[in-house]
Chains A and B, each alone.
Chain A
Amino acid sequence: MEGPPSSTYERLSERLAPYLGRFNAQVWVKVVAERELGLPADSLSGGDVQAVIEGLRPALNTFMGREAAKELLDRIGREVT
């Protein structure tokens, strides 16, 4: 039996977790959602994904380089939107 569909926040965090760790991935998405959209992470919807991705880009550019960050964020954009 399948569980309830996961939220946009959960799906974003899950895809970042292998690289940032689960806790940090959740924190980073929460911080960006509040900073960029003024929203609590739980109320993110598919339409907010691109804004969150752009909010995550500077930090990911720093820690994994621009090319790797672009590939990861493009992949997340395709999978989560």
Chain B
Amino acid sequence: MRFRSLALFPLVYAALFAVVAWAIGGAEALGPFIDGQLLFVRVLAIGGCLAAVSAFSSGDHLRRAWLWLVVATAAVLVRDVLRLPPWTLSGLFGEHGTAVVVGLGVLSNLALLGGVWLLARAWKVAAISLPGGQGGVTIVTVVIALAALVVGGPGAIHQLRELMAGNWSALVFFLSAVVDILSLCLLAPLLLTTIALRGGLLAWPWALVTASMASWLFYDAAAAFGPLLDLGAFPLTELFRGLAETFLFAAGTAQRLAVGEVREPSS
């Protein structure tokens, strides 16, 4: 029951977000609401990742993975705070402030990649087989990689063109886009590990972290193709970002609960 509630929480959050965003309407009025809820979901996600870290001991493989996810979310939270008024770091310190903000974004992306990479190779460390055999793994990986390229590729190519035209400030955005695509490609082993553990308590954190990464895929898709949908000021990307962070919170909490259940079975 606790795990099902955790899985429902991000969906309820997204529904509430959509209702409030529709009710507020105009882009200008949406700003403070979006900023506030963004900080809220970032803090939630950090809390969930810390809960997962606390389930493990020093040296455990998944402890390292969750620690990287804490770093990723904390870095992006600091970046978000620095971008808010009255700080607006880039406004106060010009190019240096902008570099700090961009650097924190890149650090967050790299840490996310590191954390997801460690999660994605858990099945190898555990020496278990993934469902579908090598053929199945290859097919799922190719399909997800294609989806990641479709949604993240145009942005990466745009930044690469800027870079080749001599705009060196595009380098970090290009790197960020590439890291984003690589992280999304790791959805395949996460999904297959979830399937490999299906039916047991340990599947819950994997299912929820997979949902978080899938939400980032939809976030990129909304950023790339959202303008074609004619949604007016509705913040579709922010809805998926909220989903990604709340699913990460749910995944970390589920990880803590699942390991706790192993140590102290309730029945």
B contacts with A, residue count (CB < 8 A):
27
User: Which of chain B's residues have a CB closer than 8 A to the CB of A62?
Assistant: 61-62, 122, 125-126
Question: When chains A and B are docked, how far (Å) is the Cα of A64 from the Cα of B52?
Answer: 11
User: Which of chain B's residues have a CB closer than 8 A to the CB of A49?
Assistant: none
Using a CB–CB cutoff of 8 Å, the interface residues on chain B facing chain A are 55-57, 59-63, 122, 125-128, 196-203, 258-259, 261-263, 265
Q: Are A22 and B57 in contact (CB under 8 A)?
A: no
Question: When chains A and B are docked, how far (Å) is the Cα of A61 from the Cα of B61?
Answer: 8
Q: Are B122 and A19 in contact (CB under 8 A)?
A: no
Question: When chains A and B are docked, how far (Å) is the Cα of A69 from the Cα of B203?
Answer: 16
Q: Are A67 and B127 in contact (CB under 8 A)?
A: no
Using a CB–CB cutoff of 8 Å, the interface residues on chain A facing chain B are 17-25, 28, 58-59, 61-69, 71-72
User: Which of chain A's residues have a CB closer than 8 A to the CB of B57?
Assistant: 65-67
B116 CB, min distance to chain A CBs, angstroms: 16
Given the known interface contacts A18-B265, A58-B127, A71-B262, the answer about A65 and B199 at a Cβ–Cβ threshold of 8 Å is no
Interface residue from B126, B198, B261, B262 paired with A21 (Cβ < 8 Å): B198
Question: When chains A and B are docked, how far (Å) is the Cα of A18 from the Cα of B202?
Answer: 9
Q: Are A21 and B199 in contact (CB under 8 A)?
A: yes
A62 CB, min distance to chain B CBs, angstroms: 4
Question: When chains A and B are docked, how far (Å) is the Cα of A62 from the Cα of B199?
Answer: 18
User: Which of chain B's residues have a CB closer than 8 A to the CB of A18?
Assistant: 200-201, 261, 265
Question: When chains A and B are docked, how far (Å) is the Cα of A22 from the Cα of B201?
Answer: 11
Q: Are A21 and B63 in contact (CB under 8 A)?
A: no
- 11 pairs, A vs B, C-beta closer than 8 Å: A18-B200, A18-B201, A18-B265, A19-B201, A24-B196, A24-B198, A59-B126, A61-B126, A64-B202, A66-B57, A68-B262
Given the known interface contacts A21-B199, A24-B198, the answer about A65 and B128 at a Cβ–Cβ threshold of 8 Å is no
Given the known interface contacts A21-B203, A68-B262, the answer about A63 and B198 at a Cβ–Cβ threshold of 8 Å is no
B248 CB, min distance to chain A CBs, angstroms: 18
Q: Are B60 and A66 in contact (CB under 8 A)?
A: yes
User: Which of chain A's residues have a CB closer than 8 A to the CB of B61?
Assistant: 61-62
User: Which of chain B's residues have a CB closer than 8 A to the CB of A72?
Assistant: 262-263
B126 CB, min distance to chain A CBs, angstroms: 4
Question: When chains A and B are docked, how far (Å) is the Cα of A20 from the Cα of B196?
Answer: 9
Q: Are B263 and A63 in contact (CB under 8 A)?
A: no
